[in-house]
């Protein structure tokens, strides 16, 4: 289970574009499209995540809509595990279970199919992945959703952690957290 050197982290961080005041004033948006279009940087990151998680006892990778799908699907393929999309309310066609979470103003809701983690195992282990954790609300709701669906959110991975917002402190202590890059 290797972590990255300072130089490797700086390399990946240099590939992420900072967009000030998006989607609203005061937010510094971490734009990962500049990392994705760089084949070397994207491969380096997925290779690293594969090395980090290959010996863990995982059954599924679940990605949070929508940027979590990109990293999650690439990693699931490498790990030879199934991929489950965690979507915003109203997007999934079959019977769903959902979890609400508070936003700055109002609420949002994440959903999965009721049989998303159904397999031959009783309580399959899931790795949750997203591009970034800020306040932790989305990740917390997603972990609750996975656990209440009969699976076990064993691990959660974020490419970027905005540590000053303390998002990871909000998460279930039974889930092992790995943030690749910390800001
Ligand atoms: P939160 O629920 O506050 O942890 O927000 C996490 C979700 O919002 C993730 O799905 C991120 O993709 C997105 N997000 C929040 N803040 C940013 C940011 N500064 N840059 C890019 N994405 C962000």
How confident is the model over 116-129, as pLDDT tens digits? 999 999 999 999 99
d(CA 84, CA 31): 23
**67 annotated active-site:** yes
Tens-digit pLDDT profile for residues 84-116: 999 999 999 999 999 999 987 789 999 999 999
**17 annotated active-site:** no
Instruction: State if residue 72 touches ligand 1 by the CB under 6 angstroms criterion.
Output: no
* Average pLDDT for the chain: 97
Q: What separation in Å is there between the alpha carbon of 131 and the centre of ligand 1? A: 8
Residue 178 has pLDDT above 90, yes or no: yes
Q: What structural domains does the chain harbor?
A: 6-182 (3.40.50.2020)
Instruction: State if residue 161 touches ligand 1 by the CB under 6 angstroms criterion.
Output: no
Residue 2 has pLDDT above 90, yes or no: no
Residue 1 has pLDDT above 80, yes or no: no
- pLDDT band for 67, please (50, 70, 90 cuts): very high
d(CA 21, CA 124): 40
| Rounded (10°) CA dihedral 41, 45, 50, 51 | 100
Nearest atom, ligand 1, residue 167 CA = 4
pTM, full prediction: 0.97
Nearest atom, ligand 1, residue 133 CA = 4
């Amino acid at each position: 289970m290797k972590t990255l050197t300072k130089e490797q982290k700086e390399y990946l961080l240099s590939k992420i574009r900072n967009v000030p005041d998006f989607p609203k004033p005061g937010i510094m948006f971490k734009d990962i499209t500049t990392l994705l279009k760089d084949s070397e940087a994207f491969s380096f990151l997925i290779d690293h995540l594969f090395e980090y998680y290959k010996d863990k006892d995982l059954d599924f990778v679940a990605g949070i809509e929508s940027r979590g799908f990109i990293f999650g699907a690439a990693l699931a393929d490498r790990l030879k595990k199934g991929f489950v999309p965690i979507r915003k309310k109203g997007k999934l066609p079959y019977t769903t279970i959902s979890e609400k979470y508070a936003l700055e103003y109002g609420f949002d809701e994440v959903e999965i199919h009721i049989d998303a983690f159904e397999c031959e195992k009783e309580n399959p282990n899931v790795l949750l992945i997203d591009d970034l954790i800020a306040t932790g609300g989305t990740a917390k709701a997603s972990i609750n959703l996975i656990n209440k669906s009969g699976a076990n959110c064993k691990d959660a991975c974020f490419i970027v952690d905005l540590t000053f917002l303390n998002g990871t402190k909000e998460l279930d202590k039974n889930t092992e957290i790995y943030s690749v890059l910390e800001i």
